[in-house]
A and B are shown apart, each in its own frame.
Chain A
Amino acid sequence: MSKYLQVFKISLEQEFAYRLNFIMWRIRNVLQILVVFFLWDSIFYFQGRELFGYDRDKILTYVFGLIFVKAFVLSARAQDVAGEIGRGEILNSLLKPLNYFKYWLTRDISSKSLNLFFAVIEFGFLFIILKPPFFFQTNPLIIFLFFLCILIAMFIFYLIVFLVNAIPFWAPEMSWGGHFLVTIILVEFLSGSLFPLDILPQNIQNILNLTPFPYLIYFPLQVYLGKIEGLLILKGIIISVVWVLVLWFVMNWIWKKGLKAYQAYGR
């Protein structure tokens, strides 16, 4: 346990070693939130307007909720694994007395803690500047379920990232390409980080709900806003847990195959 604690500390210090890098990354997050905020603010400009099942308070809470949920779920260091495999550097890590998955999970948690800390500051800053109406959830059970959904979402994202990381075992030149397609394009649109998915037609929503993507951002925020209740929450949690299990088994299977096929180019 203590070695993972050390990994956590070193990883945190490493983030601070490249302070400008980190600050720039957070500035990028703020800019992305600003675009989404103003887009929805202009749509709900007229007071009392209800659209796609949202009023102004709820849609702007959704936007502000994105700051937190994205910091919890989408901030991760594990994307670097694909590069390690592509360059052959993973061999160094595999020789060490560490569980490779736990090692990267610890690094991810360190990245999430730091991002979350800054997300709180950004939230306060944007809240003071933009003065949005905000929907405060007061039901403790809903708040508990919201955090449970976030925890599951973190595991789903971690497993998706590791699945994409496995591509360079067979195609080392694809270190970045896989992440571009899956963890940037698909996650950005299908997770609800640009817009709440319920603006899409119902049949598209039904298909999307069977994929793991909506359970990353959209579903936890729907739970927080109280737009999903009772059995529907349970159904969503069950589907997302099933996705964790499926992705876990697939990821293990792919990684075993990948390590056997790996030729450690560049070493």
Chain B
Amino acid sequence: MEDKKETKNFHLNFSAFFEKSEIIFRRLGYYFRIWFMMSKNSFLMFLNQKSVFVIFLTGKILRFLFYIFFLIFLVKGADGLAGYNTNQAIFFFLTFMVVDTTAQFLYRDVYRFRQLIVTGDFDLVLVKPVNALFRVLMGGADVADLMTLPPLYLATIYVGNLLSPTPAHVFLYLFLIIVGLMISTAFHIIVLSFGIITFEIDHSIMIYRDISNMGRFPIDIYKEPLKSALTYFVPIGIMVTLPAKALMGLVNFQSVIVAFLLSILLTIASTRFWKFALSKYSSASS
């Protein structure tokens, strides 16, 4: 009798779990389709202005090449940067670019959020049957960044390979890149939330960009207390320096755990801050 009851309970729990999973996957599919549609529209809008697209793409490629050449001349001339050789210094920069460009590709609409707030058009986002945060965060992927991502990933794989990593180091690197992207997402959400409260988003996002640009070089070059601030307060070090160090085998297990927990904490804190900011939205201009 007991056995039958247990089997029945197990069966019920299993089907409830299966149903929940199905709902989650259906929801994920729904959002993926919306993201795909919004990205397609964004690409079509951008490609409609071919000259603007060419200019931005050229600018991004030039900036990337200028930095690489600068690093090569600098590190070769100085015989190292904070104890790292040329390939390692370039790998730090490439890892920064991977996290930064991927985030920019996904979250380009954050840069357009102010317009929604000051015109009151954000009301139209709020009444739609789509999560408002998803819409303003991922509503317009950047095609110029999409074009630069494949060569960037290939360059990162090529330079990373020169550092002779073990499979475990590669796994840790990829895991920490995901952690870095989670931290970057959290910061974009915080910037959006500030945008609702202060109407000021253009400079907030650029200040975030300037701070994250400090990760172009290994954070070992910064002195205390800035170094600690960049590790724990605005964890640029965890976002970009730590993954690169992981591939070089310079990271211990505790650091990986701390990085993961911090990314979870920041994600939770940022979504709570977003909810708080939404409660302060006054719809002033609509």
Docked-complex contact B74 and A195, CB < 8 angstroms: yes
With A20-B198, A51-B78, A184-B59 in contact, do A31 and B221 touch (Cβ < 8 Å)? no
- Could you tell me which residues of chain B, from 205 to 249, have a CB within 8 Å of some CB in chain A? 206-207, 210-211, 213-214, 216-217, 220-223, 226
Docked-complex contact B214 and A31, CB < 8 angstroms: yes
B68 to chain A minimum Cβ distance, whole angstroms, is 11
In the docked arrangement, what's the CA distance between A186 and B58, Å? 11
With A42-B221, A177-B55 in contact, do A35 and B74 touch (Cβ < 8 Å)? no
B24-62 vs A, Cβ < 8 Å mask (1 yes, 0 no): 000000000000000000000000010110011011001
In the docked arrangement, what's the CA distance between A41 and B222, Å? 9
* A177 contacts across to B, CB distance below 8 A: 51-52, 55-56, 59
With A174-B51, A174-B55, A194-B70 in contact, do A24 and B222 touch (Cβ < 8 Å)? no
What band does the interface of chain B fall in when counting residues whose beta carbon is under 8 Å from A?
20 to 34
A130 to chain B minimum Cβ distance, whole angstroms, is 9
* A24 contacts across to B, CB distance below 8 A: 200, 203-204, 206-207
Chain B contact residues: helix, strand, loop or mixed: helix
* B128 contacts across to A, CB distance below 8 A: none
* B52 contacts across to A, CB distance below 8 A: 173-174, 177
A201 to chain B minimum Cβ distance, whole angstroms, is 7
In the docked arrangement, what's the CA distance between A51 and B76, Å? 11
Docked-complex contact A25 and B55, CB < 8 angstroms: no
Docked-complex contact A189 and B221, CB < 8 angstroms: no
* A43 contacts across to B, CB distance below 8 A: 74, 78, 81
Docked-complex contact B221 and A38, CB < 8 angstroms: yes
In the docked arrangement, what's the CA distance between A73 and B54, Å? 28
Q: Which of A21, A34, A51, A201 is close to B226, meaning CB atoms less than 8 Å apart?
A: A34
* B207 contacts across to A, CB distance below 8 A: 24, 27-28, 31
Look across to chain A and name the residue whose beta carbon is closest to the beta carbon of B75: A43
With A52-B77, A184-B59 in contact, do A25 and B203 touch (Cβ < 8 Å)? yes
- Could you tell me which residues of chain A, from 33 to 85, have a CB within 8 Å of some CB in chain B? 34-35, 38-39, 41-43, 51-52
A134 to chain B minimum Cβ distance, whole angstroms, is 18
A160-203 vs B, Cβ < 8 Å mask (1 yes, 0 no): 00000000000101100110110011101100001100011100
- Could you tell me which residues of chain A, from 6 to 39, have a CB within 8 Å of some CB in chain B? 20-21, 24-25, 27-28, 31-32, 34-35, 38-39
Docked-complex contact A35 and B200, CB < 8 angstroms: no
* B82 interfacial contact with A, CB 8 Å: yes
Look across to chain A and name the residue whose beta carbon is closest to the beta carbon of B49: A173
Q: 29 A-B pairs, CB-CB below 8 angstroms?
A: A20-B200, A21-B200, A24-B200, A31-B213, A31-B214, A32-B210, A32-B213, A34-B214, A38-B222, A42-B82, A42-B220, A43-B74, A43-B78, A43-B81, A171-B51, A173-B52, A174-B52, A177-B52, A177-B55, A181-B59, A184-B59, A185-B62, A185-B63, A188-B63, A194-B70, A195-B70, A199-B70, A200-B73, A201-B73
With A31-B207, A39-B221 already in contact, 8 other A-B pairs whose C-beta atoms are closer than 8 Å = A20-B198, A24-B204, A28-B207, A43-B78, A180-B59, A185-B59, A189-B63, A195-B70
